Structure 1
Amino acid sequence: MHSPVDSLAPDWLVVPDDVNELPTAVWPASAGRSDDGALMIAGITATELAQTYGTPLLVLDEDEVRSRARAFRTAFDEAAADHGTTAQVYYAGKAFLSTVVARWVVEEGLRVDVCTGGELEVALAAGVAASSLGFHGNNKSLAELTRAVEVGVGTIIVDSAIEIERLAAITARTGATQRVLVRVISGVHAETHDFLATAHEDQKFGFPLADAEAAVARIRDIPGLDFVGLHCHIGSQIFGVAGFRESAERVLELHAALLDEGPVPHLNLGGGFGIAYTSVDDPTPIETLAGEIVAAVAEGCAARGIAVPALSFEPGRAIVGTAGVTIYEVGTVKDVELGSGFGRTYISVDGGMSDNARPALYGAQFSARLASRLGVGAPQLSRVVGKHCESGDIVVDHEYLPDDVSPGDLLAVPATGAYCASLASNYNHVPRPPIVAVRDGRSTVIVRGETIADVLSRDAGIPRP
């Protein structure tokens, strides 16, 4: 056992007064403890879920997804109305997309944003109206663009000059008219990980502001393309509104210039709104985000003497992230002594970077709690690691967990609803886990888990019956 005051702990990690507490900002609103101390989500214990579906298991709280979707729609509707315009909210499907989740968000009044042909087909299979879809991507293939035009996708966000010409050829051949937005790079450097920042100049997305006017002029010359506005996304997992305000100011300068040659009815400012992954994270309230961002646009328009355009936003993580909790079973516990009385406990679980690649990709921080019972031990600096053959296979880099965590216990990692399932892999031939929705004491599989047979089915060297 190590001292809870450990030099290996990062400055932000605080020794908890109660190692069983569930910080409200990190967990779904329905999370709590049963009478025997087990974690409960939507009225179902982690123990019940693990017994029914096995582990690892991604649990998604339906009411959490729906309430956050409603909150975004209401906040942006009200903020836009205060400034004499309208707002549309698109759910960014790349965070996590299944037919069931697509239906949830559409039922709560949102549209859906997709960025590949696969995501497009999931949305269509869910019954989402093609006219309410936005289609992103820096390298949309000719086949993907053709499919999008044929089914009547509402808006394609154009990302390159080559894409403009591809769309020109498709619409000329089919006789269709396609609405497009032009994605621009505002040059605002969001305060986030480099891999999550998407508005700095040296990256793959969009047109630099200096090149965007020429791109719009070309689109306006093509009979089959209907230019409807600009798009800018500054990054992901962003707290505060300063970056959004600055980006809006820069994009509005271009927006105003484009009005000289024709209408620019829409402005899409993307998403990237951050959530809490640990107890020290302090995400900006949805109402504050909406009110201040829309006010910034209105102020910029007033300063230029132009009308406020219709606005669009694309939250993904902020809708689904906190709704997800991953349940693992502990396999081994190992104390590692590092000298001078300091050390760390390694807790190995039955998943890892195959179901949550974010820590390995860019050092994302998560938290964890004992889920099958109450811990009775003292807080101990721990690292939750996976079963894969990589030293970087870390699920939770730094956490204080009770020193009585043992093999067979269940651990739960909150805030795994976004980008965990989306980035999942079969590394080391590990099957991807099932995804189960919970609501009002009931659970339903919404994405089936894989078996070893599923994983091996793609190996052409294995004879088939």
Structure 2
Amino acid sequence: MTHMHVAGAIHADVSTPSPQWLHRPVDPNALDPALWSCCVARGDDGALRVGGLSVAELLADYGSPLYLIDERDFRNRAAGFRDAFDPWHVYYAGKAFLTRMVARWVDQEGLFLDVCSGGELATALSVGFHPERIGMHGNNKSTEELAMALEAGVARIIVDSMDEIARIEQLCHDHGWKASVLIRVTPGVEAHTHEYIATAHEDQKFGFSITNGAAMVAMVRCHVASDIELLGIHSHIGSQIFDTGGFEVAARRTMKLLRQFKEATGTELPELDLGGGFGIAYTSNDSPATPDTLSRNLREIVEIEARGHAMKVPQISIEPGRAIVGPSGMALYTVGTVKTVDLEGGAQRVYVSVDGGMSDNIRPALYAAEYSAVLASRTSQEDTVLSRIVGKHCEGGDILVHDVFLPSDIAPGDLIAVPASGAYSRAMASNYNHTPRPPVLSVADGAVSVLLRRETFDDLMALDMGE
């Protein structure tokens, strides 16, 4: 199957008003299991049910819009990566979505945790997540954030600049701390993803270049520093990656760097983090690899490279990114208006406006990310029409789902569900147009928990110091 560029059909040369991969569904009421979490199904009334609970009843109780997390699905995916990659270390991406309850799930399922801000670190520490299983990322960590991590005893800090090394050295000197670090390197791999989420080519903000020698210089500096323990190197080629081809090149270059460091210093570093950023299915055009397939391919790559460089296989870490929480979540909206517009060539498109938008999912507006959607409150036997789901914000680019076929009788008051919304939706949400952010509920075995409550106008006014 061919994958559409993550930036979507807007970048493709097509003459039709919908992307080439999008096909009219045979049954508009069917749910593609590749797109939905494990505990989603339609009830006898046609409404979606998650973990045994009706989404219509949940919206009646908690309001619209809202995010739902399928807890059982989350735990299953976490365990799947843990078991497939054992004894490698699997780091959950706090930036994808993190609350105190989610941190507890991650802990209970035996995963490690990546954080990339003081706020994410504070969230993890507040529920007793052991700092020896936390890694701290970030290309511009403040002195305060570094101090917070060092004082807590975070297991590893992924170092991203010479300035950061100097800050760590000074903090350790002033407070008697010791720092364990990985050097983030850019292996020069062009990942097949959107420019904004490709992170291993040279012309971007992350890491030290292997090509120009900056990575080796940073490694040696940390190696000789009296208060820093250099554990190894970290590589990350991007996000929403569907195959392991790019990892083969990254592993070859990072293992070569480890060998060169050993030759220069006599020290064989014990750790290598290959990153991850594994892709998920947002549309029927996406076919992500399973954890077992990813594990098998990556293990083979690492073992071949280790033999080629006459080195032991280091302790490997991977970072699945959105692949755990992304498919476990959905966003729910209520339709407010329906409008049909004429397109060139006699075609038409139905604009379905909902009560959310770019404030609760910025990804489609940020880089035209593609999503899917279904009518969630009922079934329909009507023919489907090419539709575009848009938000309520005062922006022409406020689009949630660029292209989807929905029943022609879609009407105000209907509910729309958008799958694969667990990652980077609430995490990147804003208060644009002074819009309170929706709540996040978790559902499991007929019970519902509020992970994050709905914001109110009072919450917004509490930050406004004017009279």
Residue type of the alignment partner of 1:146: A
Whether 1:446 aligns to 2:447 is no
How far, CA to CA, are the matches of 2:204 and 2:299 in structure 1?
27
Among residues 312, 316, 331, which one is paired with 1:311 in the alignment?
316
Whether 1:58 aligns to 2:67 is yes
Whether 1:195 aligns to 2:196 is yes
Residue type of the alignment partner of 2:34: A
Count residues in correspondence. 449
How far, CA to CA, are the matches of 1:7 and 1:168 in structure 2?
58
Look up the match of 1:125.
126
Look up the match of 2:12.
none
SS in 2 for 1:461: coil
Q: Which residues of structure 1 form unaligned runs of 5+?
A: 1-5, 78-85
Contact (CA 8 Å) 2:169, 2:228: kept in 1 or not?
yes
How far, CA to CA, are the matches of 1:379 and 1:248 in structure 2?
47
SS in 2 for 1:257: helix
Q: Percent identity?
A: 51
Residue type of the alignment partner of 1:63: R
User: What are the equivalent positions in structure 2 for 1:86-101 lying under 5 Å apart?
Assistant: 86-101=87-102
Residue type of the alignment partner of 1:20: N
User: What are the equivalent positions in structure 2 for 1:321-332 lying under 5 Å apart?
Assistant: 321-332=326-337
How far, CA to CA, are the matches of 1:390 and 1:126 in structure 2?
39
Shift of 1:432: 0.1
Among residues 316, 325, 334, which one is paired with 2:339 in the alignment?
334
Look up the match of 1:402.
407
How far, CA to CA, are the matches of 1:170 and 1:136 in structure 2?
17
How far, CA to CA, are the matches of 1:256 and 1:306 in structure 2?
7
How far, CA to CA, are the matches of 1:372 and 1:50 in structure 2?
10
Contact (CA 8 Å) 2:258, 2:268: kept in 1 or not?
no
Look up the match of 2:233.
230
Q: Deviations over 1:39-80 (max 9, x none)?
A: 111111111110111111000000111000000010101xxx
Q: Deviations over 1:222-259 (max 9, x none)?
A: 11100000000000001011011111111111011112
SS in 1 for 2:219: helix
User: What are the equivalent positions in structure 2 for 1:207-356 lying under 5 Å apart?
Assistant: 207-209=208-210, 210-260=213-263, 261=265, 262-356=267-361
Look up the match of 1:162.
163
How far, CA to CA, are the matches of 2:317 and 2:67 in structure 1?
30
How far, CA to CA, are the matches of 2:197 and 2:21 in structure 1?
21
Q: Deviations over 1:412-439 (max 9, x none)?
A: 0000000001100000001000000000
How far, CA to CA, are the matches of 2:42 and 2:174 in structure 1?
60
SS in 1 for 2:68: strand
Contact (CA 8 Å) 1:358, 1:364: kept in 2 or not?
yes
Shift of 1:316: 2.5
SS in 2 for 1:320: coil
How far, CA to CA, are the matches of 2:304 and 2:70 in structure 1?
38
SS in 2 for 1:340: helix
How far, CA to CA, are the matches of 2:453 and 2:40 in structure 1?
24
How far, CA to CA, are the matches of 1:256 and 1:414 in structure 2?
44
Q: Give the TM-score, by structure 2 length.
A: 0.95
How far, CA to CA, are the matches of 2:208 and 2:444 in structure 1?
43
Shift of 1:10: 0.8
Provide runs of 4+ in structure 1 moved above 6 Å. none
Whether 1:379 aligns to 2:392 is no
How far, CA to CA, are the matches of 2:295 and 2:380 in structure 1?
40
Contact (CA 8 Å) 2:156, 2:180: kept in 1 or not?
yes
SS in 2 for 1:74: helix
Contact (CA 8 Å) 1:228, 1:263: kept in 2 or not?
no
Change (3 A) 1:126 1:316: farther
Cα RMSD of the aligned pairs, angstroms, is 0.9
Shift of 1:362: 0.5
Contact (CA 8 Å) 2:138, 2:160: kept in 1 or not?
yes
How far, CA to CA, are the matches of 2:101 and 2:276 in structure 1?
22
How far, CA to CA, are the matches of 2:248 and 2:165 in structure 1?
29
Among residues 63, 67, 77, which one is paired with 1:68 in the alignment?
77
How far, CA to CA, are the matches of 1:292 and 1:308 in structure 2?
15
How far, CA to CA, are the matches of 2:440 and 2:127 in structure 1?
17
SS in 1 for 2:421: coil
How far, CA to CA, are the matches of 1:75 and 1:458 in structure 2?
45
